[in-house]
Amino acid sequence: MVPSNFSGNFPGSLSAHRFRAIAIAAASLIAVCISGQAQAAAPAGCTALQAKYPGWKGKTLVNAINPHTPGYEAIDPKDPDKYVGFDIDLGEQIGECLGFKLTYKAVTFAALLTTLSSGQADIVISDIYATKERAKAADFVTYSKVFDGVLVAKGNPKGINGINTSMCGSAAAENTGFVEVPLVQDLMPKCKAEGKPEPTLQLYDNNANCIQAILAGRADTYVNDVNTVDQAVKANPDKLEKAIAVTIPYSVGIAVPKDKPEFRDAVMAALIELQKAGIHQELLKKWELDPNNFKEPDILMAD
């Protein structure tokens, strides 16, 4: 089912496949390790962190998520009262490390940061790309590199091969507030310059609607996180395909309120501990995400 133009353009994915082949025997062991770890104890450094940042110990915090991204955050199809995914596990591990528990608040993607800044949530771990623009609304602790996939109808009838002039004249579905929106908008003058029709943008508020837009023939492409695109192809293998994967110059970040620098530092410190203990990497494997996503944390704030 892998399209022919796929492997050459996306080394990250290639290595993921290689890894999968190597680690397939260890997969069950890893899963056991992770669940065992989650139950047993957080990394040793966490004890020191809880002493250094005692303000969140024993608390229950609200994590605002847009649970429409299987693999990162979505409800568990087997038990819909639970949210599952890489971001969910990472958040709970951070919570474990700092001594807090998480509850979840499901909002639209565009409402993630407003929910945080209005105080209706304490933290946002929802596959949100940390950009300077968004850093005006929240501080980010970045934890993952970004690889985008270009989702198209089976056979890629429009021949789209990236966020470039191959998209001229086609209809792109995106979620309101996605960083891909301005990227597609930037194409409009370029297409015009080449004498081609401009691409059109259709804005929805979750992945499912964007994917449906392609299935229904309303949109030609949907550019989003490569894992989301892979999941969509997996669910509709005879109707969709991933045209290409592209790198875009952002990191995924955990958003925290701007007025709580101590909390930001605590989250960052906890994430470092998790990475030192190898938990972050194991979670990537558990959710079959590309290990190349791994990134040492940074803080992104508004200038």
Partner 1 sequence: MSLFLHYLSLPYLITGVWFTLAVTALGLGGGLILGVILAAMQLSRFAVLAVFARGYTIIFRGTPLILQMVFAYDALPQIGLKLSAIGAAGLALAANEAPFIAEMLRAGVLGIDRGQVLAGQALGMTPSLLMRRIIAPQAVRMMIPALGNETVSALKNSSLASVISVQELTLRSTQLASSTFDFFSIFFASGLIYLVLTTGVSVIQLLVERALDLDRPATESRFARLLPWYRAPLALQAVTSDPIATAQPDEAVTSKDPKISRADRTKRSAGLAHNEVVVDVSGLYKAYATQPVLAGVDLNIRLGEVVALLGPSGSGKSTLLRCINHLEGWDAGTVKVGGRRMGFREDGRPLSPRALAEERAVVGVGMVFQQFNLFGHLTALENVAGPLRWVHGVPRADADRRARELLERVGLGERAHALPRHLSGGQQQRVAIARAIAPNPAVLLLDEPTSALDPELVNEVLEVIWRLAIEDGLTMIISTHQLRFADEVADRVVFLSGGTIIEEGPAHQVLTNPRNPITARFLNAMETDKPTVAPA
Positions touching partner 1 (CB under 8 A) are 64, 67-70, 74-77, 80-81, 105-108, 111, 114-115, 117-120, 205-209, 211-212, 215, 232, 235-236
> Given the complex with partner 1, which of 98 and 211 has the nearer CB atom?
211
> Given the complex with partner 1, which of 62 and 201 has the nearer CB atom?
62
Task: Tell the smallest beta-carbon distance from residue 116 to partner 1 (Å).
Answer: 10
Task: Tell the smallest beta-carbon distance from residue 83 to partner 1 (Å).
Answer: 9
> Given the complex with partner 1, which of 105 and 158 has the nearer CB atom?
105
Give the number of other CB atoms < 10 A from CB of residue 203.
Answer: 15
Please give the Cα distance from 183 to 257 (Å, whole number): 27
97: nearest Cα among 53, 137, 50, 61: 50
Task: Tell the smallest beta-carbon distance from residue 64 to partner 1 (Å).
Answer: 7
Cβ burial 278-301 (10 Å sphere, 16+ → b, else e): ebbebbbbbbebbebbebebebbe
> Given the complex with partner 1, which of 109 and 263 has the nearer CB atom?
109
Task: Tell the smallest beta-carbon distance from residue 72 to partner 1 (Å).
Answer: 11
| 186: three-class secondary structure by DSSP | helix
> Given the complex with partner 1, which of 64 and 167 has the nearer CB atom?
64
Q: What would the two tokens of residue 194 be?
A: 């080449």
Q: Is the separation of the CB atoms in 214 and 184 below 8 Å?
A: no
Task: Tell the smallest beta-carbon distance from residue 192 to partner 1 (Å).
Answer: 34
| 272: three-class secondary structure by DSSP | helix
